[in-house]
Structure 1
Amino acid sequence: MSTTRIPAEQLATALEPAVREHLSLAGNARVLELARTERGFATETYLFEVEVEVESGRTPLVLRRPPDLSLFPDYDLLRQVLVMRRLADTGLPVPAVAWLERGDNPLGSPYFVMNRLEGRAPSDYPSYHAAGNYFEATPEQRARMWWGCVDTIAEVNQLDWRALRLDFLAFPEHGAGVVEQGVNYLDAALKWACEGTPPETYRRAVAYLRDNRCEPEQPCLCWGDARMSNILYDNDFRVRGVLDWEIAHLGAPESDLAWLLFLDWACSEYEGHPPLPGTPTRAETIAYYEKRTGHEVRNLEYHEVFSAALLSIPLLRMTHRVQLPPEMNITGFCTARIEQLLG
């Protein structure tokens, strides 16, 4: 077995024996058109197709593996695989994991393969307010997409995480309550990302989060990366897939809503333009979520500060390890939102 991580151009050939084994396919099954997607950066994602006989058609699949540079101190493919497998029967349209490989294997790194859901995700880069299916949609269609995202967040937050055996998403080594755990994890992860003392804005954020900590009455399952670009929509702008569970955790109900609103601010106001027509306002979104869940939203700005600081971890890690020049300030939107919220 190889212990060296192989480059992308060798993945298709190295993957074929595992595809044949795990999918019980004939020895002539081939991996075709394997190509990396540009979405996300905490995990490398590749789309590919499997063909056994030309006349039998092709099966579209997805491979995910860690990046060359670890961007979170506790990154583990098993966590996201377990989340997706345990959400499989909840009605949420999550991908089905075919297999997970964590040991020595020809790819030279852990990886997993899952089915590929149909649909189109809003653009990441440039943002969905500037390109892609959200940009191209009518105001009414944009509203449908937005509410579909909020509905998805509400559904995730209302799941019974205990019955789903998702208690492993807690961080008991970082404290008692879920918010305390999150803040202490954030503090440790920021120091890890910077290999020392984080920038002053992030030290202020951690101090604010500690001083104003309030535990939720009922902790809930949080999607983590709750944003428009992690949803696949069909041609009628309905939700067809819910993606990216790397940072799923147990937290406060406001956590996912704060993440969505923070990133929408980053995709519009921070970029110097208003949200596209049809995009519901912050107040409308809060009111809709409250009606949908029966939960009164509290301390939303607190959780936005947490969201901005959490997202800065992989960005600070890349900045520090790759030694980006000062003009490449990839944490700028996180820093700006924290400073705006803290005043």
Structure 2
Amino acid sequence: MSNDHPPGLDLERLRGHLDRERPGLVRGPLDAELIEGGRSNLTYRVTDGTSRWVVRRPPLGHVLATAHDMRREHRVISALHSTAVPVPEPLLLCEDETVIGSPFYVMEFVEGTPYRTTPQLSALGPERTRGVVLGLVDTLVDLHAVDPEAAGLGDFGRPEGFLDRQLRRWGKQLDASRNRELPGIDELHAALGRALPGSPSPTVVHGDYRLDNVLVDGDDRIRAILDWEMSTLGDPLTDLGLLVMYSRRVDVRDSPVPTTAGAPGHPEPAELIERYATGSGRDVSAVSWYEAFAWFKLAVILEGIHYRFTLGQTVGAGFDRIGDLVPVFIDNGLTTLQES
């Protein structure tokens, strides 16, 4: 850690605001480091030498207000904190942009590991790996068991027509980053639209639920679900479909997409689906559609990254290979949908 201000976080101004709003919380000079950056919301670890906290703010520069709405993230973890769903304790929301230049919120720092790669997860050994991944499913069941009305989240999203809107939204995202032929992607988009399933009762949906968005403690328990920026009220099976997709092995060397599916002991997708069905009591017979939609969504996201790379807007290791991944995701989506 260094005493310099990390980009986007003025520590004196943060300290002054915390002293006013939460007197006695901070007991010494603040020190901070940026732990996550990029196009997503920025995450900082902040300490006074005794206690640690996490600060979240939108990316630097102009952003879509809806995509990086601090109030939404703070609201959902505040609502879930008193439920069985493990989330960090929210401490403060600041919507006054004069403090650090943007809205931000502060939450407790939770110890734990986000497992991002197969080697990282493999180090646990097959038995522990299996337990961690099954725990991921059980925690998703807990999330989807929360009654949105009772949690004060009854107006957190618009569940009617959720899947149709999602499909249209990701189709528009695709159109915004088209600069090459992508055989099969329009066919996949159209086939998903023709086979749109009927949604079960709406729940709180995380929107990006996978192993590297949770913190796992030394006892292999999930201590906190992180990154709620995509959360809303909608079809719970979209979270399951994404989780199943991330549990498939993608045969691409040095894939820049985070996957832990190759770790020995990692349960097969069929077992994860069955465990979710048993735990939640939901009908999962249409899960192939949701998995195919997850492949489509990821293909669109990866194509967007590839598009920005071709324009010279994205630098760093691995970005040159992302374009080659897109056809793999399209093919997997088409195959999954045909199997359904």
1:90 aligned onto 2:83: yes
- Kept in 2, the 8 Å contact 1:71–1:317? The answer is no
Residue 22 (structure 1) shift = 2.5
Q: Kindly provide the CA deviation profile for residues 208-261 of structure 1, in whole angstroms up to 9, marking residues without a partner as x.
A: 221111121322222211111112112111111111111112333321121112
Q: Kindly provide the CA deviation profile for residues 106-138 of structure 1, in whole angstroms up to 9, marking residues without a partner as x.
A: 321222111111222213xxx2x123xx22101
Counterpart CA distance in 2 for 1:86 and 1:44 is 22
Counterpart CA distance in 2 for 1:147 and 1:94 is 18
1:283 aligned onto 2:270: yes
Give the equivalent residue in structure 1 for 2:257: none
**1:14–1:233 Cα change, 3 Å:** same
Q: Kindly provide the CA deviation profile for residues 88-113 of structure 1, in whole angstroms up to 9, marking residues without a partner as x.
A: 11121211222222232232122211
> Structure 2, unaligned stretches of length 5 or more?
255-259, 336-340
Give the equivalent residue in structure 1 for 2:247: 264
Give the equivalent residue in structure 1 for 2:119: 130
> Structure 1, unaligned stretches of length 5 or more?
1-5, 52-57
Q: Give, as a single letter, the amino acid of the residue that structure 1 aligns with 2:232.
A: H
Give the equivalent residue in structure 2 for 1:20: 19
Give the equivalent residue in structure 2 for 1:180: 164
Q: Kindly provide the CA deviation profile for residues 248-291 of structure 1, in whole angstroms up to 9, marking residues without a partner as x.
A: 1233332112111222336x544489722111111111111111
Deviates more, 1:6-15 or 1:42-51: 6-15
TM-score (norm 1): 0.81
**1:66–1:142 Cα change, 3 Å:** same
Q: Kindly provide the CA deviation profile for residues 300-338 of structure 1, in whole angstroms up to 9, marking residues without a partner as x.
A: 232123223434555444444562489724355454223
Q: How does 1:1-12 map to 2 (within 5 A)?
A: 8=7, 11-12=10-11
- Kept in 2, the 8 Å contact 1:177–1:215? The answer is no
Identical amino acids, percent of aligned pairs: 24
**1:108–1:73 Cα change, 3 Å:** closer
Q: How does 1:188-227 map to 2 (within 5 A)?
A: 188-192=172-176, 194=177, 201-227=184-210
Counterpart CA distance in 2 for 1:342 and 1:246 is 28
**1:105–1:185 Cα change, 3 Å:** same
Q: Give, as a single letter, the amino acid of the residue that structure 1 aligns with 2:113.
A: R
1:156 aligned onto 2:143: yes
Q: Give, as a single letter, the amino acid of the residue that structure 2 aligns with 1:240.
A: R
Question: In the alignment, which of 307, 320, 336 is matched to residue 328 of structure 2?
Answer: 336
Counterpart CA distance in 2 for 1:299 and 1:73 is 34
Give the equivalent residue in structure 1 for 2:57: 65
Question: What secondary structure sits across from 1:61 in the alignment?
Answer: strand
Q: Give, as a single letter, the amino acid of the residue that structure 2 aligns with 1:181.
A: R
Give the equivalent residue in structure 1 for 2:127: 140
**1:67–1:332 Cα change, 3 Å:** farther
Root-mean-square deviation (Å): 3.2
Q: Give, as a single letter, the amino acid of the residue that structure 1 aligns with 2:240.
A: L
Counterpart CA distance in 2 for 1:332 and 1:67 is 28
